[in-house]
Chains A and B, each alone.
Chain A
Amino acid sequence: MDAIMTAKGIKRDFRVGSEILHVLKGVDVDILRGKLTILKGRSGSGKTTLLNILSTLDTPTEGDVEFLEKKYSVMNDAQKEKMRREELGFVFQSIALIPIMNAYENVDLSLRLAGIETDKDERIKRVLSLVNMQDRMLHMPGQMSGGEQQRIAIARAVAHSPKILFADEPTGALDTENGIKVMKLFRHLIEKEGVTVVMTTHDPNLMELGDVVFEMEDGELFERREN
């Protein structure tokens, strides 16, 4: 299978007072193109830290990540920011829609960030209908439920056609029904848009829906499973 991203020997230490906390202890992962990869583990297992490193939001203490033949270790902040704007998409557990913008504008922002100017309106409407939120596009985040907001967040994350979509506990703030809907949406996006999805979760019920599952424990990769 073709790996879009590979990470080798990833270590991440945090200093807590005088102690050094080894959160990741040398992890190797490969992310397969067009697949839904799930990083699974209990709280504190290091899955979010790994996801942050893979998505350039954090820098490893040791090890490197290679994405489309570019090594993070040789990239500066500006290059990483550009990459995040154009090639990566993010969905957070905290939903994190921009509260001063309506659904349409939230999606619009990600297109502006990626520098996409052609057929913007059409594109926004298309992604909103992809998440089945085309009727709510002028609503403010405060006027929507958590599940609806998360769908808008996903639409925003995929509007600029990123190569990879990173989602940190995207169902964490949702009930089971809405959680399942979000997972179905990911599958739908993979099939329709050809996007690669990497997500973290601690919910065992969602494992079945992933193509590749990395199980983490205490900062180490415990198991790699392909469904």
Chain B
Amino acid sequence: MLTISVQKLKKQKWLSFCLILGMALLVAVFVCQPMFRSGSLDKLLKLTFEDHIKDYNEYPVAMFHSGEYKMGDGVTTENVNAGLSKNRSIWEKYLTEFDKLGTFTTFRIKDMSGFGTYQDKNMFLEAVYMPEVEDHIEIITGTDGSEYDGKVMPCLISEYVMDTRGLIVGEEIEFDRYYTESNETLKLVVAGVFKVKDAEDPFWYFSPYKDDRAIYVSRECMDKICTEYGGRLLDASTYMVLDENSINSRNIDYLIECIDSFKAGDKSFGITFDNVLKMYISKRQSINVMLWVLEIPVLVMLIVFIYMVSGQMADSLETEIAMQRSRGFSKRQVVLLYTMMALIISAFGLLIGIPMGYVLCKLSASTTDFLKFSAVDVSMYKPVSSMLLYGLVASLTGIIIIVVPIFGRLRLSIVEQKSDYKFAKRMLWEKYFVDVILLAVSLYLLRNYSGSIEKLREQALVGGKMDPMIFINTCVFMVAAGLVVFRLIHYLVLLIYRLGRSKWKPVSYVSFLQITRSFNRQCFISVFMILTVSMGLFDANVARTINRNKEDRIIYSNGAYVIMSEKWSFYEYKDARREGAINRRYFEPDFINYQKLVNEGLCDSVTRVYKYDKSMISKGSSKMIDNCMVLGINTKEFGETAYLKDELNGEKHWFNYLNDLSENGNGVIISRNLADLLTLEVGDTLTVHGLTLGRLDDLKRINCKIVDIVDVWPGYDRYEYTDGEVKEKFLAVINYATMVQNFELAPYEVWGSVADGVGDEEVYTRISELVPELNRFDSVDREIVDMKNTPDIQIINGLFTLSFLISLVLCGVGFLIYWIASIQKRELLFGVYMAMGLSRRNISGMLILEHIFSTLTSVLAGGGVGMVATILFIQLFCVAYLPEKSNLDIYVYYESGDMIKLFTVIALMIIICLMVLRRMIGNISITGALKKGEE
């Protein structure tokens, strides 16, 4: 049976090749899934840890046991330490697969009020004992504090405490609330000042350079303070710091499980990365769904492709199947024979598909935009063991799809096969209008989802699982619309044929009859073409739209291509205007440094932007509106530097608003939401309130006249998100000079417009050289690169690109095999036509006409369906991938290049097909074809 199967496959080598290709792609797409998921999750984890490091500047993974201990009665730091070590050893026992970076234990007596010898002010300090601290410090002045005479306890302080508290070596600090039974107060002397040996040392998870209260004592002293001086309550904690790089998507569940069980057994147990885990778990779920959902269309295409090719193969083997049945083969034997063929194909598919899936995964992971591959680090995307299982599932699915078409042909004996006619039969979907029903259902679902778009947005914002039906519905729409369009094309061809039935020349007559009568045969290839073209186009449009809108939002939110600021020096003074208030006087750094960027050709322009992120606005005596961003701008420079899409503020160009502001010193431009909330109109006045050290300052206020009301403004996001909660933000733009005059000078941002052909890194390097301490450099390019690097965008770009490329391959190959197989099958017919007097040219013309009315219309219909699907479904897709509300509406981006690529491939296939046709028709010998017919 194996030999017969191999022979049959050899006989149908082109179809076998196509089936192997389809099967290999199916396996590849399946096996790509777990690898891509694992890589994406690893990347997600890495980025989440990196964000944590950026936000908190600490090792991201630490677990601790922390509690308050009542000392005395035999409880000493030593035995508390032993207990804590025991806790740690339990963690270590279970967490062996994670790399331990270090451990440390801290004993601390909080809020000790003391007076220093050289200072008359009360200080709040905390006595700290850290076992083995001596191994991690370097004494820079004084001694190591080991010499205790039993009277004044030595302690060590960090450089930071020395600087901030003004403590020096030899200074005694007296803590009058801590005393012995004989009323002897606790006195500590600063024996030495230390610096940490290694700032990266996990022992210093809590940096002594951020702690202005810690004074370090020995264990002996700590015990004495607790037992003899009444410092009964001691905070003790032990920490274990793990290497975040040893945590990955495969072992994180185990880590979570361990943490849960540690928490259950120890109420004082805690971790420092709860937020990371929370974020990871919520995003993991959406990544899982996203991966499946984005792969569904590709899988549908592949399944349809395999089914189509296996249907072609079954068609061409129909006579053989009928012969086998007539020669006494049982149905079971015939099915077994074809299952064997399917097994051989699937074995090849598996062999090619698994490495292909690996390559496709790496390729998808290297995308930084739709159809854009970059040399990014893809080392995280590693093969995983489940790939094999996925491959086997794909193979099994493929085998079933290959064998299914055979069942329909089993009933035929050779006599039935010869007399079987299929041309007049209507397909079930056509007869019962399944296409129209499906289209209606899909549109109904779309309407429902569109109605609950806000709910979906909220769900997406908190990382909730999106309803996969939204995405599946897109596929359903495309299939249904494809079928409806195909039905319409069929009616149209029928109409054209009937209109000129008596007039058609033989070539058109035969072509029209061929198209209208082989409707059900052509249905599959036509719908397949419509599906692949529309899906390819839809994928391209969605990916382009998501990418471009994300970029637009970044550019818009930044306001300019680069935003810089540096550290300003200041001094604090008592504000004479208000009792007890402290104010700050800032010294403006040299703005000329920024202007040098312009002079040196790195920037086209730079401008100062005085920005209060959270200020207040009031109208007359009405209540204060908080959460208002106040911008002080130099209108001319701002217009030259900031970026805003021309069309965004309606018909009036935003430069006109700048002109209005420049003409009115006390003018203000406000956002539409503020105007609506306070029922303000142009010409009304309002008060902008200033801040001092982040607090509202009654003395800082400007009464402004509204000159314009805007919807959008560079750098102004109307919606502000905190933990998934949206808050309305307002805007007020006033003149820079007015703001400085009324609010005093404070650190401003410098916005820059980078010159053409200059990279943001060049600007960064130069400005870092120019200014003494740059503390901010935000660049649109950097943010876009970071955005492109996030796993969800990478999944979108990777999978849409993959899907697009596969649709190109399938479209091309599917088209070729269909035509070649269909021509091969019609060789006898062509022989008859030629015998009846049709020339080879006539036959070519006939086939070209068939192409025009089936392929070309299908391709155009596919393009139409793809565009309609984009228009209808893009908002829903964007809610899933761009859930944050923005001042910028979603703008649908089409790139003609994508369409050109798609149509070029199809055109190329048509050309190849026509060349093959020409060759085949040229080789047809009338007598040979007729002879074949006799056989």
Contact = CB atoms under 8 A, between A and B. Distances in A.
Chain A CB count within 10 A is highest, among B420, B502, B834, B934, for B934
Contacts of B509: 108-109, 112
B410 interface: no
Contacts of A113: 506, 836-838
Contact of A92 (B517, B518, B930): B930
Interface in B785-833: 828-829, 831-832
B421 A81 contact: no
A16 to B, nearest CB: 14
A99 B421 contact: yes
Contacts of A44: none
B839 A81 contact: yes
Dominant SS among interface residues on chain A:
helix
A52 B420 CA distance: 30
Nearest to B421: A142
A140 B927 contact: no
Contact of B837 (A82, A99, A101, A168): A82
A47 interface: no
A147 to B, nearest CB: 12
A82 to B, nearest CB: 7
B828 A96 contact: yes
Contact of A81 (B420, B829, B838, B930): B838
Given A81-B838, A105-B513, A142-B423, A96 B926 contact: no
A58 interface: yes
Given A140-B423, A142-B419, A143-B421, A100 B514 contact: yes
A3 interface: no
Contacts of A142: 419-423
A46 interface: no
A59 to B, nearest CB: 10
A57 B934 contact: no
Contacts of A98: 510, 829, 832
B683 interface: no
Interface string B518-540: 10000000000000000000000
Given A94-B828, A100-B514, A140-B424, A110 B836 contact: yes
Nearest to B422: A142
B933 interface: yes
B419 A96 contact: no
Contacts of B836: 84-85, 90, 109-110, 113
A93 B835 CA distance: 13
A57 B513 contact: no
Interface in B270-313: none
Contacts of B839: 77-78, 81
A81 B837 contact: yes
A167 B510 CA distance: 23
B54 interface: no
A84 to B, nearest CB: 4
A168 B931 CA distance: 11
Nearest to A52: B927
B505 A112 contact: yes
Contact of A109 (B506, B927, B930): B506
A169 B930 CA distance: 12
Interface residues of B, number: 31
Given A100-B514, A140-B423, A94 B835 contact: no
Interface string B907-935: 00000000000000000001100100110
Interface string B406-431: 00000000000001111110000000
Contacts of A168: 930
Interface string A157-189: 000000000001100100000000000000000
Contacts of B832: 92, 96, 98
A34 interface: no
A3 to B, nearest CB: 24
B927 A58 contact: yes
Nearest to B836: A113
B778 to A, nearest CB: 68
Nearest to A112: B506
A168 B835 CA distance: 12
B513 A85 contact: no
A41 interface: no
Interface string B493-510: 000000000101110011
A106 to B, nearest CB: 10
A100 B828 CA distance: 13
A141 B421 contact: yes
A90 B423 CA distance: 25
A81 B502 CA distance: 23
Contacts of A169: 934
Contacts of A93: 934
Interface string A55-72: 101100000000000000
Interface in B407-463: 419-424
Interface-centre pick from A83, A85, A96, A169 (highest chain B CB count, 10 A): A96
18 contacts: A52-B926, A58-B926, A78-B839, A81-B838, A84-B837, A92-B835, A92-B934, A96-B832, A98-B510, A100-B423, A101-B517, A112-B504, A112-B506, A113-B838, A114-B837, A140-B421, A141-B421, A142-B420
* 9 pairs of A and B residues whose beta carbons are closest in the complex: A142-B421, A85-B837, A94-B933, A84-B837, A100-B517, A96-B832, A112-B506, A94-B934, A81-B837
Interface of A: 48, 52, 55, 57-58, 77-78, 81-86, 90, 92-94, 96, 98-101, 105, 108-110, 112-114, 120, 140-143, 168-169, 172
Given A90-B835, A90-B836, 9 more contacts: A57-B930, A81-B839, A84-B836, A92-B835, A96-B831, A98-B510, A105-B513, A109-B509, A112-B509
Interface of B: 419-424, 502, 504-506, 509-510, 513-514, 517-518, 828-829, 831-832, 834-839, 926-927, 930, 933-934
